[in-house]
Amino acid sequence: MIGDIIGQSLRHPSRLIPEEALLGNCDGSRMPDVIADRLTPAIAHRLVEVCPTTALGINEHEGRAFLTLSYGHCIGCGKCLESGEGAVVTAKDFHWCGITREQAVRRWDIDGRVEIATAGPSAEIARGQIHALLQRALNVRQLDAGSCNGCEAEITALTNPYYDLERFGIHFVASPKHADMLLVTGPVTRNMADAVKATYEAVPAPKLVVAVGACGCSGGIFAGSHAIVGAVDSVIPVDGYIPGCPPTPAMLVSGILEVLRRHLAK
Amino acid sequence: MNQDMSSAFPHGEGISRETMITIPCTQEGAPARLVTIFGSVAPNHEKHVHYIFDLGGPGYSEIVLTADRPVASIARQLPAAAWYERELHNQYGIEITGHPDLRPLILHENWPDGVCPMVDPVDNVPWSKRDYRFLQVQGEGIAEVAVGPVHAGIIEPGHFRFSVVGDTVLHLELRHFYTHKGTEKLFEGRSATDAVMLAESVSGDNCFAHAVCYSQAVENACGIDIPPRALAIRLIGLELERLVCHISDTGGLCTDVGFGVAAAYATRLKESLLRESAQCCGTRYWRGIAVPGGLRFDLDSDRVAQLGQAVAQTFRDFSEIARMILETPSIQNRFETAGVLSGEAARDLAVVGPVARASGIDLDVRRDHPYGLYRKYQIDVPRTHYGDVMARARIRIAEVAASAQMIQEVTRSLPDGNVFTPVTSQGDIRGFSAVESPRGELCYWMEAFGGRLTRCHVKSPSFQNWPAMPFAVEGNIIADFPLINKSFNLSYSGCDR
């Protein structure tokens, strides 16, 4: 058997994805991006109409109309890509995780065809900064508050040889009592609400709570159901939001680091 | 349209006035296999109970009962009906007589008595604190161990109540539905074509099977055929999902017995297929591809061919790992004779999927009720009668080989042409569809009026198989529970919906 293992290991080169290629990458998530100079009022209205989760909206302010895109609500269904007539494309990179829901929202002036700059996107995290941020030890406890298991599948993937989360000093722990950070997935169901609160209480302070996925950030496709309470922040205080349905492992790594960076910068 | 039942039961006809159904029999005279039971409300506010059976032929058979009087339970004759009847009682407030256990199944203690979400208004339901009694096992030296809903790991929530003597489990009671999201109710009122997004979020790792099954139900209801290229790509997606799921489960079993090397190899193979999928269709788990009428967009033929090559490579690597697993004595020692599900228990509870096949039940929707491109394929159904963890592992390993071969064949001979047929749904439509998802038989039953869903029922293989799991755990030591649970690999969200 040892021979087999050595043989396997020799035949397969390392699959580890370098840090630079990981940060900001969102391949396979189908998050949308808007090409501002192709935007027209007609397209903007159609986009809002086809969006199944109110991720896209139009706000009027002082006589001007703005298209808003809330990534926390987006389930990456691709409807806007189909009906955007080229004004919406799949995002090439993603820097829209935030410590408030507002930081995951982008705005475009529809008539002026320009994006209104908000807090993000942040400057890219420098390679050296990562270890300073984490000090090589962040214990994470994942908590499923009612998710469909899509986010869990992607969080589990973080420990595979491609992402190897342990290289950043991030460990998944079995008990909330050992955790610095709770990664909460799913809309909080009525049946899980008490368990979510109890788990939060069990994490020793100081602690960070990060809502993961469209459901965790906003309720996602399940918003409005009688059997859910709502997004994670309707039950416990939330310190960070990672959008996506589900967020890819690369988005999860970038999101966790981005949330930490913004907290330290506060 | 083998799976289509809509024409056989036009609205109102076939409805018996009796309060109990006669359980149908197969041609051989044995009681038919129960597929699902669910409720619906007719426009005249009458409550109906739908029973779907598998009589052994290519079609399924549906019996509709009007629940104007209490409905007699069939759980004593068909134990598989027990959870379905509890769900009916809970969600529709239908009175069930003669049921051995009518404790609330889906609505936990926080729901007030008498609220039945599928028929009652559900805005601002007050919070309550009801009682829930677990079965108590009494005797000298018996202890209770409560586990969950929050488990030690990246897993979905559910509660397990073990009654143990020392290390040995005497009885295990499940308490699930923590992830109940009211999905079936949420379907109602949605556009029949767009609701596929909700179907994709029923069980995240089987999302393509759910999307295809829902789409097929709508296509059956409208009586449309989809283009051959769309059928071929759907088959690739379905088999790839099975491949990914079974590779991941085999790795998971290795994790649970501390065989980290093989587990790490399996996660590498899984990830390579997910990355190839993202290249091929834009999403890692084939989300947002299947829609009623075919596919949302066409896939690039070269990319699909590349996917076929990646599958071939993955299969070669996996075969080596599988051999390593099956030939390692310490693995054999842990897998063999652990968590035996007897053929009798499996048949009584009408289990489906790899779990059923590992306990000697010859059942595969792809062969028995063929749909899509599977009509053209000869499906070999692997089967063993041991029913232990090793049997379930062997079934999965055998199915990886079959799926890999099928994907390669289809990617080599991908038909040309378009991938979408427009779906037009006017008036009252009803459709049913069954798909062999990686966990087993998955069914959707939908009804729509003027293009809007009025009811959509999801029969998830996990809902069917969960009640069987405790029977496999009894008599084992509690330390083997994670391994046995993993060998079933059931979805909590799929079950709880």
pLDDT digits (tens, 9 = 90+) for B357-393: 999 999 999 999 999 999 998 888 999 999 999 999 9
State whether residue B84 sits within 8 Å of chain A by CB.
Answer: no
**Among partner residues B267, B277, B493, which is closest to A149 by beta-carbon distance?**
B493
Cβ contacts (< 8 Å) between B107 and chain A: which residues?
A: 191
Query: Which residue, among B201, B270, B303, would best test binding to A if mutated, counting the most A CBs under 10 Å from its CB?
Result: B201
Q: How confident is the model at residue B124 (pLDDT cuts 50, 70, 90)?
A: confident
Residue of A147, A148, A192, A236 to mutate, testing the B interface (most B Cβ within 10 Å of its Cβ): A148
**pLDDT at residue B14, rounded to an integer:** 46
H-helix or E-strand spanning residue B277: helix B260-281
The minimum CA-CA distance between B42 and chain A, rounded to whole Å, is: 21
pLDDT in tens, B427-448: 789 999 999 999 999 999 999 9
Closest Cα of chain A to B9: distance in Å? 31
Query: For A152, which of B156, B180, B320 is closest by C-beta distance?
Result: B156
Amino acid at B212: V
Contacts of A19 (CB under 8 A, 6+ apart): A127, A130
Question: What whole-number distance in Å separates Cα of residue B421 and Cα of residue B228?
Answer: 11
**A192–B203 CB contact, under 8 Å:** no
At which residue do the structure tokens 């063929």 appear? Answer: B370
Q: Is A230 on the interface with B (CB under 8 A)?
A: no
Is B204's CB within 8 Å of A78's CB? no
Give one word for B93, left, alpha or beta, with left for phi > 0 and alpha for psi -120 to 50.
left
pLDDT beyond 80 at B489: yes
Whether residue B111 is predicted with pLDDT greater than 50 in this model: the reply is yes
pLDDT at A191 over 60: yes
Mean per-residue pLDDT, A100-118: 83
Of B424 and A73, the structure prediction assigns the larger pLDDT to A73
Residue of B nearest to A178 (CA): B152
State how far residue A7 is from chain B, nearest Cα, in angstroms.
Answer: 10
pLDDT band at B12 (very low <50, low <70, confident <90, very high): very low
Pairing of strands B47-54, B61-66: antiparallel
> Taking every pair of C-alpha atoms in chain A, what is the biggest distance, in angstroms?
73
Q: In the structure, what pLDDT confidence band is assigned to residue B26 with cuts at 50, 70 and 90?
A: confident
Q: How many beta-carbon pairs under 8 angstroms link A with B?
A: 181
Q: Does B201 contact A78 at a Cβ distance shorter than 8 Å?
A: no
Q: Are B217 and B446 in contact (CB under 8 A)?
A: yes
Query: How many other C-beta atoms can be found within 10 angstroms of the C-beta atom of residue A192?
Result: 31
Percent of chain B with pLDDT over 70: 96
Which positions in chain A touch B180 (Cβ < 8 Å)?
A: 146, 189-191, 227
Q: Answer whether residue B118 shows pLDDT above 60.
A: yes
pLDDT number for residue B7: 40
Q: In this structure, how many other beta carbons lie within 10 angstroms of the beta carbon of residue B55? A: 14
Q: Are A247 and A255 in contact (CB under 8 A)?
A: yes
Residues 269-328 of B with CB under 8 A from A: 270-272, 274-275, 277-278, 282-285, 287-288, 296, 317, 320-321, 323-324, 327-328
Structural element, H or E, at residue B343: helix B343-348
A175 touches chain B (CB under 8 A): yes
Average pLDDT over residues B147-157: 89
Which of the four pLDDT bands, split at 50, 70 and 90, describes residue B207? very high
Pairing assessment for the beta strands A138-144 and A170-172 based on DSSP bridges: parallel
CA pair distance A253, A2, nearest whole angstrom: 33
Q: Which of B65, B68, B60 has its CA nearest to residue B49?
A: B65
Q: What pLDDT shows up at residue B254?
A: 93
Q: Which chain A residues are within 8 Å of B205, Cβ to Cβ?
A: 149-150, 153
Q: Do B152 and A77 touch (CB under 8 A)?
A: no
Name the band, by pLDDT with cuts 50, 70 and 90, for residue A190: very high
Nearest chain A residue to B181 by CA distance is A227
CB distance A226–B182 less than 8 Å?
A: yes
Residues of B in contact with A160 (CB under 8 A): 264, 267-268, 270-271
Read off the pLDDT band of A104 (50, 70, 90). confident
Which A residues 203-222 touch B at CB under 8 Å? 220-222
| Predicted structure pTM score | 0.93
The pLDDT mean for chain A works out to: 87
Q: Are the Cβ atoms of A8 and B265 closer than 8 angstroms?
A: yes
The neighbouring-strand residues paired with A198 are none
Instruction: Assess whether pLDDT exceeds 70 at residue A117.
Output: yes
CB A153 within 8 A of CB A195: no
Q: Touching check for B412 and chain A: CB below 8 Å?
A: no
Mutate to test the interface with B, among A147, A226, A229, A253 (most CBs of B within 10 A): A226
pLDDT band at A130 (very low <50, low <70, confident <90, very high): low
Q: Is B186 near chain A, with CB under 8 Å?
A: yes
| Confidence check on the interface: ipTM exceeds 0.85, yes or no | yes
| pLDDT score at A112 | 81
A245 touches chain B (CB under 8 A): yes
How much is the pLDDT for B266? 93
**What average pLDDT does range B51-75 have in this prediction?**
89
| B200 vs A128, residue with greater confidence | B200
Contact A175 B123 (CB under 8 A): no
**With contact defined as beta carbons under 8 Å apart, do A187 and A215 qualify?**
yes
- Confidence band for A125, pLDDT divided at 50, 70 and 90: low
Confidence check: pLDDT of A157 > 70: yes
Question: With bands split at pLDDT 50, 70 and 90, how would you rate the model's confidence at B424?
Answer: confident
pLDDT tens by residue, B223-244: 899 999 999 999 999 999 999 9
Q: How confident is the model at residue B461 (pLDDT cuts 50, 70, 90)?
A: very high
pLDDT above 90: percentage of residues in chain B: 75
pLDDT of residue A223: 92
pLDDT tens-digit series, residues A207-261: 899 999 999 999 999 999 999 999 999 999 999 999 999 999 999 998 988 888 8
pLDDT at position B316 over 60:
yes
Sequence-separated (6 or more) residues with CB below 8 Å from residue A231: A187, A188, A211, A215, A216, A217, A218, A219, A223
Whether B265 has a pLDDT exceeding 60, the answer reads: yes
Chain A CB contacts of B322 below 8 Å = none
Does the pLDDT of residue B417 top 70, yes or no?
A: yes
B149 upstream amide cis, omega within 30 of 0 = yes
Q: Who's near B178: CB < 8 A, 6+ residues apart? A: A146, A189, A191, A192, A195, B108, B149, B157, B158, B159, B492, B496
pLDDT at A188: 96
Distance, in angstroms, between A245 CA and closest chain B CA?
A: 9
Put simply, the answer to whether B271 touches A246 (Cβ < 8 Å) is no
Read off the pLDDT of residues A57-78 as tens digits, 9 standing for 90 and up.
998 888 888 899 999 999 999 8
Q: Is B172 on the interface with A (CB under 8 A)?
A: no
Confidence of residue A124 (pLDDT cuts 50, 70, 90): low
CA distance A85 to chain B (A): 15
- pLDDT grade, residue B8 (50/70/90)? very low
Q: How confident is the model at residue B410 (pLDDT cuts 50, 70, 90)?
A: very high
The answer to whether the Cβ–Cβ distance between A148 and B203 falls below 8 Å is yes
Binning pLDDT at 50, 70 and 90, where does residue B29 land?
Answer: confident
CA atoms within 13 A on the CB side of A47: 30
Question: What pLDDT is attached to residue A246?
Answer: 93
Q: How far is A129 from chain B (nearest CA, A)?
A: 28
Residues of A in contact with B267 (CB under 8 A): 156-157, 159-161
Interchain CB contact of A5 with B (< 8 Å) = yes
